[in-house]
């Protein structure tokens, strides 16, 4: 397997490309003349970029799939301020030893460090039944190994190795802060925060492309996680039925709305708090990732983010040295803002299954 030298975050217009990338998506699309061209989303640990193949697209589309490593030659171009690759050649690489760290993004924090912080926070749970339940997971080495490498989502937030652990730690920390500010059951909230996404170890794979498993596609992590909870709670002597019911409800309702994938909306204070903590960590991280990673945009604004219905100004531009400098902020060019009259009309919740 050839060593990787060209990373997406370092590419710029007119860069001649000769390197390997991970295929994230592929799609045949028609031109205005009725011919098909091939769109391929390529990725590495630093970001992702779309490549386009204009000649021989229908023949090439069947030569590789999402999750494959491919060798690409071509030229980096810019269209409407967005970088893309005009590919001349794409070939699937043969099986071999792969340095997946070059292709799969991973958490910036060591897993052991995050696990230690998580254990410290959860160790403050006073209820003996909840503490025993939590420890049954924390002391399960095979579970924690998978929990520490699984992504939290396929693409929208914490979509990297260790993303589930980092996201869970974030939700637990937010929940802990909530318990100081508001009269909620801290023990129940911290337990629910830790367990809310455990089903993702069965829903998502930590291998190339971060895809959904068959169980993930057919059942989903909310139901899987609820089943995992019931199995563990049954092994804790004398676990109260009403407490188990509350935790089940927290897991099943944490997406907040039926339209967002929850079979029930939050109907307890703690389940509402969990939904808000989860939503805060997921959406804020999605925004932070959008302004920090390479998305092909060469200007001051990110690409248009569908989940927010807007682009974001890159944060570094707000760190001005002087008031005069701060006033000279650019306006977005590449992405269109929604019209004002549209912004004034409230929209119903949109499906967010891929966000969570």
Label residue 73 exposed, middle or buried (CB < 10 Å: 0-12, 13-18, 19+).
middle
DSSP H helices in 153-220: 163-181, 186-195, 200-203, 214-218
Tokens read off for 217: 């596609």
Give the pair of three-digit tokens for residue 336.
Answer: 């269109």
pLDDT at 1 over 70: no
Q: Which of 33-47, 223-237, 261-275, 329-343 has the lowest mean pLDDT?
A: 329-343
Whether the model clears a pTM of 0.85, i.e. scores above it, the answer is no
Torsion over CA: 81, 318, 310, 171 (sign): positive
pLDDT the model gives residue 220: 92
Encode pLDDT of 200-209 as tens digits. 999 998 766 6
The pLDDT score that the predictor gives to residue 107 is 86
Task: Give the alpha-carbon dihedral of 267, 271, 273, 275, to 10 degrees.
Answer: -100
What is the distance between the alpha carbons of residues 264 and 256, in angstroms, rounded to a whole number? 8
Contacts 24+ apart (CB under 8 A), 142-145: 143/201, 144/115
Residues 6 or more apart whose CB falls under 8 angstroms from that of 216 comprise 200, 202, 203, 204, 224
Pairing status of strand 36-44 against strand 82-92:
unpaired
Long-range contacts, 131-137 (Cβ 8 Å, 24+): 132/236, 133/191, 133/229, 133/232, 133/233, 133/236, 133/239, 134/191, 134/194, 134/195, 136/232, 136/235, 136/236, 137/194, 137/195, 137/198, 137/232
Residue 300 pLDDT exceeds 50: yes
CA distance 160 to 270: 28
**Residue ranges of domains in the chain, CATH in brackets:** 8-101 (2.40.50.140), 104-287 (1.10.3210)
Residue with token string 């794409």: 90
pLDDT in tens, 81-127: 889 999 999 999 988 777 777 888 888 899 999 999 999 999 999 99
């Amino acid at each position: 397997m050839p060593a990787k030298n060209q990373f997406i975050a370092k590419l710029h217009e007119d860069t001649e490309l000769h390197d390997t990338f991970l295929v994230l998506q592929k799609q045949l699309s028609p031109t205005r003349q009725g011919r098909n061209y091939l769109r391929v989303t390529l990725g590495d640990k630093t970001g992702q970029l779309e490549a386009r193949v204009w000649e021989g697209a229908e023949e090439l589309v069947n030569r590789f799939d999402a999750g494959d490593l491919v060798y690409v030659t071509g030229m980096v171009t810019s269209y409407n301020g967005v970088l893309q690759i005009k590919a001349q050649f794409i070939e699937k690489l043969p099986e071999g030893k792969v340095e997946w760290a070059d292709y799969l993004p991973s958490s910036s924090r060591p897993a052991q460090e995050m696990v230690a912080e998580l254990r410290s926070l959860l160790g403050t749970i006073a209820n003996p039944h909840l503490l025993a339940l939590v420890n049954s997971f924390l002391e399960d080495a095979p579970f924690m190994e998978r929990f520490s490498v699984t992504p939290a989502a396929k693409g929208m937030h914490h979509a990297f190795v260790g993303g589930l652990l980092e996201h869970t730690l974030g939700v637990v920390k937010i929940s802990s802060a909530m318990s100081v500010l508001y009269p909620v059951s801290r023990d129940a909230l911290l337990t629910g925060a830790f367990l809310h996404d455990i089903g993702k170890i069965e829903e998502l794979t930590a291998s190339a492309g971060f895809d959904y498993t068959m169980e993930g596609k057919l059942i989903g992590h909310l139901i899987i996680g609820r089943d995992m909870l019931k199995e563990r709670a049954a092994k804790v002597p004398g676990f109260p039925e009403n407490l188990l019911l509350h935790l089940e409800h927290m897991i099943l309702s944490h997406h907040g709305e039926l339209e967002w994938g929850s079979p029930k909306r939050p109907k307890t204070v703690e389940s509402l708090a969990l939904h808000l903590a989860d939503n805060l960590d997921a959406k804020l991280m999605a925004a932070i990732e959008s302004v920090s990673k390479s998305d092909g945009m060469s200007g001051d604004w990110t690409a248009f983010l569908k989940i927010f219905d807007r682009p974001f100004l890159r944060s570094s531009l707000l760190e001005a040295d002087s008031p005069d400098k701060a006033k000279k902020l650019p306006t977005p060019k590449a992405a269109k803002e929604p019209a004002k009259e549209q912004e004034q009309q409230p929209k119903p919740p949109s499906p967010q299954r891929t966000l969570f």
